[in-house]
Structure 1
Amino acid sequence: MSSLRHWVWLSTRGPAPGMYAARILHHFGTPEGAYFAGREELQACPGLPEKVRQALEDKDLSQADQILAQCEALGIWVLTCQDAAYPQRLGQLDSAPCVLYGRGRLPQMDQEAAVALVGARQASPYGIMAAGRLGLDLARQGALVVSGMAQGVDAAALRGALRGGGRVVSVLGSGIDVIYPAGHGDLYEDVAAAGALLSEYPPGTPPTGPHFPVRNRLIAGLSLGVLVVEGSQTSGALITARWALEQGRDVFAVPGGIDAPLSQGPNGLIRRGEAKLIQDAWDVVEEYAALYPDKLHPKTPLAPGAARARLEGRESPPPVPPQQKEPAPARLVVDLGKDPEALTDDQAALLRALQARGEQSADDLVEATGIPARRVLSALTLLQVRQWVAEAGRRFTTLVELKEDRTHPPRG
């Protein structure tokens, strides 16, 4: 097994090093093989830009050691392409990064019906509505939503998926610790609590322009298909669609008005036969339903008003008619022994506390679990969306029974 510092060293060699890591590893076998290679051996590695070759001649490991120290201090995990948790769907790419940095808990991506949802930063109201609604319904039907973290379509898609109670993965064009756009701090925390933040760039890396087109290959590579909501012919969303086509992934597109500038991209994909026209989330999900029968399931779309209420976070249960009582539902059992990925660590810790202590306030749960208040509130929101936790008078109770394999220590 190669040392982590040599993996990190390799991942920082030259501009866009992740684009060439697979090629270097194919030639030298291991990061150490590249590290100890001399100039003549490096010249023999085909297809490398001169700047990358020159960077490989720099054998100083101090930058790698500093990066690993930063990761430890910031709670950022490091995943190499030799690790079992590294997504093989991504590892199949010729330009697969050799190192990924992350926060949260990365789902088992190769077992998920992951759909990338991308579009314009300066999206129209139609684009924001479509992205939020599609993210919501994809999550309700069992898909995992992958996106960036940009304003506009990306953010709307992630928020919609979170409101749908789904898991999400966001791939960044900066270091994991760099919040961009600056106003998305809450969304960062929510994504990390319900899924994972990923980047091939080490901590502290700023969000410079060239990072994003390169980053887009990872959004496509992690997914079965890419859904384009809005974008011009030269937008980043269309770059992601191009990556998807090159990687043999499916491409879907939301049609728009013939005179709408931001619909030129998706309309063009449909016109050229490169994308399937979609009108709702099931148009995407049905493509994978036979492959993931235990995960994907059609659901009746929410009425427009109900969907809007959920996306705006103001959904409330329908009133019970007078003289009627709702039958008590059977208590759902969440068995972490059978499905360890059913809950995030924060959600599992909160359900343990509610199951052991009964009705609790948010402050009580912060004290009982040691989880920061922001994460407690985020996890409670997602549990309420899934109807696994109920709130009354600012106090919370569990609606499910948590079952665990006690031969292993609980997470969290």
Structure 2
Amino acid sequence: MLVHWIWFAHRPGLNDRDKMALLQHFRDPEDIYFADDGAFDAIGLSEEAKTALREKNLTSAEEILEACGREKLHILTCQDAAYPARLKNIADPPVVLYYKGRLPDFDGSPVIGVVGTRKASAYGLTTAKRMGYQIARCGGIVVSGMAYGIDGMAMSGALTAGAPAVGVLGCGADIVYPVSNRALFRDTEEYGCILSEFAPGTPPAKWTFPKRNRIISGLSCGVLVVEAPEKSGALITARLAAEQGRDVFAVPGNIDQPSFVGSNRLLRDGAIMVSSGWDILSEYEALFPDKIRKEDAPAHQTAYPDEVHKAAEAEKPLLKVAQKLRLPRKNENLKKDLAHQGIDKTPCAPYSDVGSVRPKLSPEEQTIVDALSGGERLVDDVIAETGLSTGKLLSSLTMLELKGIIKRLPGKRIVLSGK
């Protein structure tokens, strides 16, 4: 019965891993409810956990069930067929989810978590909305936390593209938080899904947001960090994603701006550098060939969203915060381009021309370049051949990509830029 699932899901002193261990031993929470103490000995539960299971009062669970009826919340248990398998396979999945709206096909779709700081720059906000829009247009589903800043803008972009978006809350799914996101909450409920592991009426708290982050990463194939300072909840989500075996992507940002220190550090540590939604979705083209399509989003739909700044005022702040690096082009118009920018008119070597001037390489980078001399390779094959650790290889790949020596291809393949 659902009341037993709710009772079990909200047992204090019982962590998510203990709950999953119990569900592997018993048929369902109703069996756990009626089991005596001796039945728990084989599982190795702590005394605190056993004490929690001895409390058989169902009043609180019944009140939660009634609240779900009032607030029109659906209840999804981890044994239901609709429960996302991707989420169920993490170490500590939520036993019960409460949701509003319609559940998308999580397991049959490329789901991308998009996270970042609440105190985002104009560049970060614009990039988040553009990324959300492009991910959705290319066939992906955006999952985020519906917070101020990066989260909300990414979801807004996805909804603008006419695709569902999923908001994972750090409070009850009946609570609009933050209040200023009421319109986003309403649109997400109508065209996507709002879900939470917290019972209806649960207020947001400092501990609830880090706890919900594992759900964002657990639902996702990969997690994109758009903008994050050195200490950011988005970095917690990125760490959880890596621990769960998900891909971690990051957008390069202004190195002089504190709000990008954390996300830029992810790139140094091996996150995949991206600048468009297609950069992300192309990684999963082989897994979801019928869902993913390459579409270039028109810039006017996302570059200067009304949520960031009003029309004429938007352009200047965006250019001041962070611009995409403009690389010299190896063509006859090079001198004209440089003259137009008002800088030194002397032609220089192309930044990404590996054949003419190659930046100095570390021993690890040289080893990777040697391994790629025969043509494109799978990342896993390069790890096996070079003997480098996964973390070291990924960070070296990022540096090689920044130096213009390699480029990433769909399907986790890499190749020398000149090949």
Q: Taking structure 2 as the reference length, what is the TM-score of the superposition?
A: 0.70
Structure 1: runs of 5 or more not aligned: 316-412
* Equivalences for residues 306-385 of structure 1 within 5 A: 306-308=301-303
Choose 234-243 or 219-228, whichever is displaced more.
Answer: 234-243
Preserved contact between residue 137 and residue 297 of structure 2 (Cα < 8 Å): no
How far does residue 108 in structure 1 lie from its aligned partner after superposition?
Answer: 1.5
Change (3 A) 1:137 1:16: farther
Amino acid at match of 1:294: D
- CA deviation after TM superposition for structure 1 residue 50, in Å: 5.0
> CA separation in 2, counterparts of 1:147 and 1:281?
15
Is the 8 Å Cα contact of residues 114 and 225 (structure 1) preserved in structure 2?
A: yes
Counterparts in 2 of 1:80-95, with a 5 A limit? 80-95=77-92
* Change in 2 beyond 3 A, CA 1:306/1:107: closer
CA offsets, 1:249-269, max 9 Å, x none? Answer: 111011112222121212111
> How big is the alpha-carbon RMSD for the aligned residues of Structure 1 and Structure 2?
2.1
- Secondary structure of 2:253's aligned partner: coil
The separation in 1 between residues aligned to 2:170 and 2:302, in whole angstroms, is: 31
CA contact (8 A) 1:168 1:195 kept: yes
Match in the other structure for 1:235: 232
Cα distance in 2 for partners of 1:40, 1:233 equals: 48
Of 32, 36, 39, the match for 1:38: 36
Shift of 1:16: 7.5
Q: Whole-Å Cα distance in 1 between the matches of residues 276 and 47 of structure 2?
A: 47
Shift of 1:127: 1.2
1:206 aligns with 2:203: yes
| Partners of 2:229 and 2:261 within 8 A in 1 | yes
CA distance in 2, matches of 1:310, 1:125: 10
Q: What residue is the counterpart of 2:264 in the other structure? A: 267
Whole-angstrom CA distance in 1 between matches of 2:75 and 2:221: 24
Kept in 2, the 8 Å contact 1:90–1:222? The answer is yes
SS where residue 76 of structure 2 aligns? strand
1:121-144 C-alpha deviation (Å, 9 max, x unpaired): 111111111101100111111110
Q: Distance in 2 between matches of 1:20 and 1:205?
A: 22
Which structure 2 residue ranges, 5 or more long, are not aligned? Answer: 312-419
- Hey, what's the Cα distance between the residues in 2 that align with 1:138 and 1:311? 20
2:416 is aligned to: none
Between the aligned partners of 2:303 and 2:17, the Cα distance in structure 1 is 40
Cα distance in 2 between the residues matched to 1:110 and 1:205 = 28
1:272-327 per-residue CA deviation (whole Å, 9 max, x = no partner) reads 11x10011111101001122122111112313x34346766999xxxxxxxxxxxx
Q: Take 1:141 and 1:282, find their aligned partners in 2: how far apart are those partners?
A: 7
Partner of 1:182: 179
Where 2:68 maps in the other structure, the secondary structure is: helix
Offset from partner CA, 1:343-365 (integer Å, 9 cap, x none): xxxxxxxxxxxxxxxxxxxxxxx
1:49–1:138 CA distance, 2 compared to 1 (3 A): farther
Alpha-carbon distance, 1:54 to partner = 2.5
Residue pairs, 1:76-155, within 5 angstroms: 76-155=73-152
Task: Give yes or no for contact 1:18–1:200 (8 Å, CA) kept in 2.
Answer: no
Q: Residues of 2 paired with 1:248 and 1:13: CA distance?
A: 29
The 2-side partners of 1:212 and 1:147 are apart by 12
* Superposition deviation, residue 43 in structure 1: 5.2
CA distance in 2, matches of 1:297, 1:49: 50
C-alpha distance in 2, partners of 1:191/1:214? Answer: 21
Q: Which residue of 2 aligns with 1:302?
A: 298
CA contact (8 A) 1:224 1:250 kept: yes
Provide the residue aligned with 1:10 in structure 2: 8
1:282 aligns with 2:282: no
1:172-195 deviation line (CA, Å, top 9, x unaligned): 111111111112111111001111
Letter in 1 for 2:23: L
Q: Deviations over 1:28-82 (max 9, x none)?
A: 3421232123344445533x56544322221111111111111111110001111
Secondary structure of 2:283's counterpart equals coil
In the alignment, residue 157 of structure 1 is paired with which amino acid?
A
Post-superposition offset of 1:24: 2.4
2:244 alignment counterpart: 247
The alpha-carbon distance between structure 1 residues 236 and 56, as it changes in their structure 2 partners (threshold 3 A), is same
Distance 1:186 1:277, change over 3 A: same
**Percent of pairs with identical residues:** 46
In 1, are the aligned partners of 2:133 and 2:297 still within 8 Å (CA)?
no
Q: Deviations over 1:77-122 (max 9, x none)?
A: 0011111111111111120111110000001110111100000011
Alpha-carbon spacing, 1:176–1:80, altered in 2? closer, same or farther (3 Å): same
Tell me how far apart the structure 2 counterparts of residues 225 and 17 of structure 1 sit (CA, whole Å): 25
Structure 2: distance between partners of 1:250 and 1:16:
30
Tell me, in whole angstroms, the C-alpha distance in 2 between the residues paired with 1:66 and 1:234: 38
CA apart distance, 1:197:
0.4
Rounded to whole Å, the distance in 2 between the matches of 1:123 and 1:41 is 51
For 1:300 and 1:158, the matched residues in 2 are separated by: 18
- Shift in CA distance, 131/225, structure 1 to aligned 2, threshold 3 Å: same
Deviation at 1:7, TM superposition (A): 0.8
TM-score, length of structure 1 as denominator length? 0.71
